[in-house]
Structure 1
Amino acid sequence: MAESDINEVSEARAELLCYLVATLAASHSLTHEWRIDHVVESCRIWLRRNSLWMDWLERVRFGQLALKLAKRELKGAGIAVRQSNVQALFTGDMQLNYSCTVIKKMLALCRDAL
């Protein structure tokens, strides 16, 4: 199947951003460090899984926005990712768990950020 440009699918952009924010927040709650080294690979994995394409510069911008949201905006929006609830953020195959309240709040924050 051919890949589509993610810029043509606005909801996909919000979902990708949410995935990156959730990954960063989960990693931070487990390591107490902001591990940005996983953002590039997480972005590639999500895009490949969803048969979407994004220009490299746009991936960098999304990574920077995800870090900003995870570091500065989650707490202000009343979203806390604790070590005890990291597993609930994702499904068994590491996709977002859309039934999780924290993910629902993150997705709304990401939509607003775009």
Structure 2
Amino acid sequence: MDKPDIDEVPGARADLLCFLVATVAASHTLTREWRIDHVVESSRLWLARSGVSMHWLNRVLLGQLAMKIAKRELKAAGIAVRQSDVQVLFTGEMKLNHASSVVQKMMKLCKQSL
């Protein structure tokens, strides 16, 4: 059975983008490196866990947008990801923690970017 396209699931594209931004920001906070491999792997994991598909070119474009947001737009929007924030960005299952105020701010920014 084919998986539904990400755009057939309301809010899925914004959720994936926010997950990628959070992953990139958390990774940078911990390693001080901008790691594209984390974006690629996080995208694969999110899509598999969510049971949706996304064309490879759209994944690349969304990953680039996530890097841009994490590098430039978080700070401009007053969103700082500190080491103490990293754990609260995600649940124990490595899903976005929508109860986190940082995630809520990121999600708003991501929705505006789409």
TM over 0.5: yes
Deviation at 1:8, TM superposition (A): 2.0
Tell me how far apart the structure 1 counterparts of residues 10 and 35 of structure 2 sit (CA, whole Å).
Answer: 27
- Matched residue type, 1:33: E
Q: Within 5 Å, give how 1:20-99 maps onto structure 2.
A: 20-99=20-99
Aligned residues: 114
Q: After the TM superposition, list the runs of 4 or more consecutive aligned residues in structure 1 that deviate by more than 3 angstroms.
A: none
Per mean C-alpha deviation after superposition, the further-off stretch among 19-28 and 39-48 is 39-48
- RMSD, aligned CA: 1.0
**1:44-90 CA-partner distances (Å, limit 9, x unpaired):** 11011111000000000000000000000000111000011100000
- Matched residue type, 2:71: K
Over the matched positions of the two proteins, sequence identity in percent amounts to: 65
- Matched residue type, 1:31: T
Match of 2:105 in 1: 105
- TM-score between the two structures when normalised by the length of structure 1: 0.96
Deviation at 1:17, TM superposition (A): 0.1
| C-alpha contact 1:21 1:66 (8 A) present in aligned 2 | yes
Which runs of 5 or more structure 2 residues have no equivalent in the other structure?
none
